[in-house]
Amino acid sequence: MSEFTLQIDGMHCGSCVRRASQALAAVEGVAVNEVRVGAARLTSAVEPPPVDLAVAALAKAGYTAHLVR
């Protein structure tokens, strides 16, 4: 299992957290650990983790995101 964090731009409130959480929960191979305004911590059993799919799901929900190292 690998854990990764995404920085998410454009989030402002609880509704944004809910929308981002729903988008990330729909990504196959990713478990959502925490979503807060501006970031999400995720876990994946897939190697390499499907970071690009998580970023794409957030983009579809209206947010830009990138991997934090």
pTM of structure: 0.94
Tens of pLDDT along 32-62?
A: 999 999 999 999 999 999 999 999 999 999 9
CB 20 within 8 A of CB 40: yes
* Distant-in-sequence, close-in-space partners of 64: CB < 8 Å, separation ≥ 6: 8, 9, 10, 58
Segments making up each domain of the chain, as ranges: 2-68
- The yes or no reply on domain 2-68 and CATH 3.30.70.100 is yes
